[in-house]
Amino acid sequence: MITKNFSNGRMVAAAAVALLSSISLPALAATPGSALVMAWNIDAISTFDPAQIGEVVTSELVQNTCDSLVDFDPADESKVVPLLAKSWDVSEDRKQITFHLNEGLKFPGGEPATAKELAWSMQRVVLLGYGNASTLTEYGFSKDNVKERIVATDDNTLVLKLDNPYPTNLILQAVGANRVSSLLDMKTLMSKEVNGDMGNKYLATNTACVGPYRLVQWNSAESIVLEANDEYYGAKPKLKRVLIRHVAEPGTQRLLLTQGDVDIARDLSPDDLADLDGKPGLKIERVLKPQLFFWTFNAADPVFKDERVRLAMRYLIDYDGLAKSVMTYLGVPRASFAQLGAVGALNAEEGQPFKLDLEKAKALLTEAGYPNGFESNVLFGTLPHSAPIAQSVQANAAKVGVKLSLERMANAQLFARIRGREFQSGMLAWQTGVPDAHGNASRLVYNPDNRAEAKLTQIPAWRSSYQDEDFNKRVQAALLESDPEKRNEMYYSLQKDVMEKGPMAIMFQMYNTLGMSDKVKDWTWNGFRVYYDAVSK
């Protein structure tokens, strides 16, 4: 309740700022010509260890300081392009990929960086066993076999041995372009080792890897300075420095941006974005990210175990109305589990066939034995769009007799409830790390073991107590299908079926948005990466 009043108060204040700043005279300051200056909420940074990081800010920083084996194509995230590896060969049976690294790789200190360090860095992710280990264990690497399966055969050659003939493109995306294939400075890290942590503690405040930039200063919750790495093997970044100032309040970010004290504001509110859009000297940029916002149902709940009820709920979501109001700068309607931009994803139209249809919802509920509706509960967190969406759904549900009570809570608490299966339904977001339909199929659809004691808490399908043997088989079959066309077809049909029956009503695919000065040129990003080295001023 307090939070709600606070946010209302904030909206009033934001409106007042908008009003006042529109009448104020521009007294523009300037940022240095050789540096990119960003205002960003960087509260969540806790480590720069590629084996451990899990949130967006650090991921973006690590991607710009630590090159991975291969990279996402800036123009099309579903394709991969060379990075540390200039080329790669795939064995006949698709179970071995041999990467040929660029010559003359060096760490920022000038020491040579070789495939040996790279193999160690990748093994390290599995051996340490933090969250990112699952990126590798998912494809058959384990603590027992990783030293045989990821090996350097000479200074410039790295070999990955897989347990199954996975699609090569998928492995390149999921492993090659992921932070788990950063090339870390083994000697430095091992010299700083504490209690067998392989340098994890050192990396809490440092970076030690090969990349276009290096971290030179980090004042927690204050600022970050990246500087171009002179020893970098690739093209030198156009801007010498990237300065990031921690600013938590969107209204403050907006002021800094319009004053010219920062080039880019990363966390503007939708109201600010709408207001600044089209203002002279400023640009609004947005790109779809691989994050889905959905309403998940607990299939163990006596009401929601019926797939007709779950389908009925989808017809209570006002996709178009929300897209035109709350979600304008936040996301686009999407009902398929495969995000736009991924290999195997249905196109925008086919991937979102639903619309608000109370009669259809009513008919489905009647068929399921609830002609007069039912009572249930919706949990949601503190994402700014959660409350308006939940309220819109609640209002529509009331029209067909379904009484939904809404319960708002801190995100950490929401996650705990959902992971513990202690909910009837909940609204939250999920982000995949792979631009391939398999990324979400393996989590939002596939559930190998539905027993409570299996505790597959990292799998949202398991959290929803949902298991469908047919879907499981189709997810596995599509993963290993060798013909790309056929593989796509398998995903298309799977998406259409899951949309009707699955445990989640997927609602929106989210945008990354920012406001920036028009002095910034060539800002380059896609759903998976931001390319600082391409930016100029």
Partner 1 sequence: MADIVHSVPRSDAGNMARPNPLLVVLKVVGKILLPVLVTLFGLAALTFFIGRMLPIDPVVAILGDNATQEAYDNMARALGLDKPLWYQFGIYVRGILSLDFGQALTTGKPVIEDIARVFPATIELATLAIIIGTGLGIPAGVIAAMYRGSWIDQGIRFVGLIGYSAPNFWLGLMGLVLFYASLGWIGGPGRIDFIYEFDIEPITGFYLIDTAIQGQWEVFRNVFSHIILPASILGFGALAYISRMTRSFMIEQLGQEYIVTARVKGLSWGRTVWVHAFRNVVVQVMTVVALSYAFLLEGAVLTETVFAWPGFGRYLTNALLVGDMNAVVGCSLLVGIIFVSLNLLCDLLYRVFDPRTR
Contact 425, 378 (CB under 8 A): yes
Query: In this complex, which beta carbon is closest to partner 1, that of residue 48 or of residue 304?
Result: 48
Q: Quick one: which segment of 77-85, 347-355, 356-364, 412-420 binds partner 1 (CB under 8 A)?
A: 412-420
Q: Is 17 in the site for partner 1 (CB under 8 A)?
A: yes
Q: Is 87 in the site for partner 1 (CB under 8 A)?
A: no
**Distance in Å, CB of 183 to partner 1, minimum:** 22
**Distance in Å, CB of 285 to partner 1, minimum:** 22
Q: Pick from 7, 87, 219, 493: which binds partner 1 (CB under 8 A)?
A: 219
Query: In this complex, which beta carbon is closest to partner 1, that of residue 139 or of residue 374?
Result: 139
Q: Is 257 in the site for partner 1 (CB under 8 A)?
A: no
Query: In this complex, which beta carbon is closest to partner 1, that of residue 238 or of residue 419?
Result: 419
DSSP 355-422: ---HHHHHHHHHHTT-TT--EEEEEE-S-TTHHHHHHHHHHHHHHTT-EEEEEE--HHHHHHHHHTT-
Alpha helices in 278-329 (DSSP H): 307-314, 319-324
Contact 268, 276 (CB under 8 A): yes
Q: Pick from 348, 398, 416, 452: which binds partner 1 (CB under 8 A)?
A: 416
Q: Is 246 in the site for partner 1 (CB under 8 A)?
A: yes
d(CA 475, CA 481): 10
d(CA 262, CA 457): 40
SS3 sequence of 88-128: EEECCCCCEEEEEECCCCECCCCCECCHHHHHHHHHHHHHH
Query: In this complex, which beta carbon is closest to partner 1, that of residue 247 or of residue 312?
Result: 247
Query: In this complex, which beta carbon is closest to partner 1, that of residue 261 or of residue 271?
Result: 261
Tokens standing for 268? Answer: 């503007």
Residues 46-65 that bind partner 1 (CB under 8 A): 46-47, 54-55
CB burial of residue 431 (10 Å; 0-12, 13-18, 19+): middle
Contact 13, 220 (CB under 8 A): no
Q: Is 94 in the site for partner 1 (CB under 8 A)?
A: no
Q: Is 9 in the site for partner 1 (CB under 8 A)?
A: yes
d(CA 410, CA 388): 16
Q: Is 417 in the site for partner 1 (CB under 8 A)?
A: yes
Query: In this complex, which beta carbon is closest to partner 1, that of residue 54 or of residue 353?
Result: 54
Q: Is 221 in the site for partner 1 (CB under 8 A)?
A: yes
DSSP state of 482: -
Q: Is 43 in the site for partner 1 (CB under 8 A)?
A: yes
Query: In this complex, which beta carbon is closest to partner 1, that of residue 271 or of residue 367?
Result: 271
Q: Quick one: which segment of 148-156, 302-310, 335-343, 407-415 binds partner 1 (CB under 8 A)?
A: 407-415
**Residues contacting partner 1: total by CB under 8 A:** 63
Q: Is 95 in the site for partner 1 (CB under 8 A)?
A: no
Q: Is 456 in the site for partner 1 (CB under 8 A)?
A: yes
d(CA 205, CA 48): 7
Q: Pick from 113, 189, 210, 247: which binds partner 1 (CB under 8 A)?
A: 247
Q: Is 452 in the site for partner 1 (CB under 8 A)?
A: no
Contact 216, 244 (CB under 8 A): no
The separation between CA 382 and the C-alpha centre of its own chain, rounded to angstroms, equals 18
Residue 478: enclosing H or E segment and its boundaries?
Answer: helix 469-480
Residues 457-516 that bind partner 1 (CB under 8 A): 457-458
**Distance in Å, CB of 270 to partner 1, minimum:** 18
Q: Is 91 in the site for partner 1 (CB under 8 A)?
A: no
Q: Is 131 in the site for partner 1 (CB under 8 A)?
A: yes
Following CA atoms 158, 99, 117, 535 in sequence, which dihedral angle do they give, to the nearest 10 degrees?
Answer: -170
Torsion-angle region of 425 (φ positive above 0: left; ψ -120 to 50: alpha; else: beta): beta
**Distance in Å, CB of 320 to partner 1, minimum:** 30
Q: Is 205 in the site for partner 1 (CB under 8 A)?
A: yes
Contact 440, 432 (CB under 8 A): yes
Contact 497, 471 (CB under 8 A): yes
Query: In this complex, which beta carbon is closest to partner 1, that of residue 148 or of residue 449?
Result: 449
Q: Is 137 in the site for partner 1 (CB under 8 A)?
A: yes
**Distance in Å, CB of 201 to partner 1, minimum:** 8
Q: Is 127 in the site for partner 1 (CB under 8 A)?
A: no
Q: Quick one: which segment of 252-260, 286-294, 327-335, 350-358 binds partner 1 (CB under 8 A)?
A: 252-260
Residues constituting the chain: 537
Q: Is 30 in the site for partner 1 (CB under 8 A)?
A: no
Q: Is 157 in the site for partner 1 (CB under 8 A)?
A: no
d(CA 144, CA 146): 6
Q: Pick from 410, 452, 477, 480: which binds partner 1 (CB under 8 A)?
A: 410
Which residues have CB under 8 Å from 4's CB, separation 6+? 387, 408
Q: Pick from 1, 2, 20, 235: which binds partner 1 (CB under 8 A)?
A: 20
Q: Pick from 98, 157, 168, 252: which binds partner 1 (CB under 8 A)?
A: 252
d(CA 13, CA 313): 36
Q: Is 133 in the site for partner 1 (CB under 8 A)?
A: yes
Find, among 387, 305, 364, 294, the residue nearest to 6 by Cα.
387
Handedness of CA 52, 58, 62, 63 (dihedral sign): positive
Q: Is 383 in the site for partner 1 (CB under 8 A)?
A: no
User: Which residues lie near partner 1 (CB under 8 A)?
Assistant: 9-10, 12-13, 16-17, 20-21, 24-25, 27, 32, 37, 39, 43-47, 54-55, 129-131, 133-134, 137, 201, 204-205, 217, 219-223, 225, 243, 245-249, 251-252, 255-256, 258-259, 261, 410-413, 415-417, 419, 430, 455-458
